[in-house]
Chains A and B, each alone.
Chain A
C-alpha cells in the first residue's frame, strides 16, 4: 500500500475518494462506476450510530432510495466463528484482526459490491476504521493494518460520531452497561471494568481522531441531540445524492501481472 498520507484514488464527484479501493484492491473484481453509494457511519461503542442509521434509512426510503444496511461481524460466513472465539477467550490480537478482516471481505464481496452494482445506498454501521482503531490500540502495526485493508472500498462519505469519554460513560451506563470487550478487559488494565472502560475508550477515541484527515471523516458532534445530528446527516447525504451522476471513469484495474 502507498504511504498512509496519500489520499485514496481521487473520484470524479468532488468527494475526493468515492468508490475506489484504498490499496491494492481485489484484482479479480475491478471496480466500475457503480450507480450505488457507500456511506459509512463510524464511532465508538454506544455513541449512537445504529439509531442514526435507522433514522437515516427511513428518511432515504421515503425519498425513494433503495437502502441496504451492513454492519460489523454480520457476515454469514464468520459470525458464528467470531462469537465462538469471543466467548471462549481464545483470540489473540492478530487473529482478532484477521477474523474481522475475513468477515469484512465476505460482506464486501457478497453484500456491499452487489448492492452498489444494483444502485442501492449502502449504509455501513461501522467500517474498517473500527477495526483499525481497535487493533491500533492493541499495538498491531498500523502500516500492516492499512495494507491488510487495502482491499476495502473507500466509501463515498464517512461520518464520524465524535464524543468525549465522560459523556460516553454516562450514555453507556444509562442504556445497557459496560461489557467485557467494549471495556477492553482483554487488555488487562485491571479488574475494574469502569476504569478499564475509561482508559480503553479514551485510547480508542484518540485512535479514531488520528484517522480523520487520512480517511476524510466528516466529523459530527455526537453529544448533540439525536435530532440535530440526524438533521446534519440528512443535509449532507441529501446534498451528495442530489449531485448529478458522475461521468463514467475508466474501470480501475489494479492487478499486477
Chain B
C-alpha cells in the first residue's frame, strides 16, 4: 500500500498547506503568506482545492443538477487533486520552489467523513498524496465563521453548506450543522497528521505573525539563488 502521506517527501522544495472551514480566514492568511515569501525572494506557487480544468466540467454539471452523491463528490475531488498534484504541485517541488496549497487532502478527510463516506477508505484513496512539510489548521468556532460569511454577504453554497445531506432547508442552519461536524473531524485530524493549530479568532495581523513564525522554522530553502546552469 502507498503510504506517502505519512512519510516526509524528498523533493528540494517545500509544501505548506492551510486547512479550515469556510470563513476561518485561511485564504486571507495564505495570500499574506505568499506576499511575504515572495518579498523574501522565494519562488512561490499557489494552488487551490478543486481547481483543475479536467474535472471542472463534471463538478459543474454535478453541482448544478445537485447530482453528486457523497461518493462521486469524494472521487471527483480526488481526481482533481491527483491532476493538480502531478501537474501543479510536484513539478515546483522538484524545482525547489515553495508550494502553498489552499486546502489539501485533509479537507477531503473531514468533509467526506461528515458526508458518510468511510474514513479509512478516504485515507487510502489519498495515500498517493505528498506529505506537506507543514499543515496549518485555522481553528474557528462555528459562529465566528458564520458571522464572517454573513457579514461578507457571501451566499452559502449548496455543497459547502452540506445542503445535499438534507439536514435543513435553511442554508445557514445547514451550514452550521454540517460545518460543525466538519470541525469535529478536523479536531481528530490535528492529532492524526500533526497539524499546526492557529487560533483563527485573532486579528488578521496577529494570526499572520504566528503563521510566519511557524513557517520560518521550516525555511531552510534559501531565497532564489543564481542558477548554476550555464546560459546557452
Contacts and interface: CB of A to CB of B under 8 A. Distances in A.
Contacts of A144: 1-2, 124, 127-128
B117 interface: yes
Main secondary structure of the interface of B (DSSP, over half): helix
Main secondary structure of the interface of A (DSSP, over half): helix
Interface residues of B, number: 34
A255 interface: yes
A102 B124 contact: no
B121 A102 contact: no
A78 interface: yes
Contacts of B115: 28
A108 B78 CA distance: 18
B72 A106 contact: yes
Contacts, number: 98
Interface string B97-121: 0000000000000000001111111
A1 B124 contact: yes
Interface string B62-87: 10000111111001101100110111
Nearest to A140: B128
Contacts of B57: 80-81, 84
A102 B116 contact: no
Nearest 6 A/B pairs, CB to CB: A28-B116, A98-B79, A102-B75, A81-B58, A24-B118, A147-B124
25 contacts: A23-B121, A25-B118, A26-B117, A28-B117, A76-B67, A77-B67, A77-B68, A77-B72, A81-B55, A81-B58, A90-B54, A95-B82, A95-B83, A98-B75, A98-B78, A98-B79, A98-B82, A99-B55, A102-B76, A102-B79, A106-B72, A141-B1, A144-B128, A147-B125, A256-B120
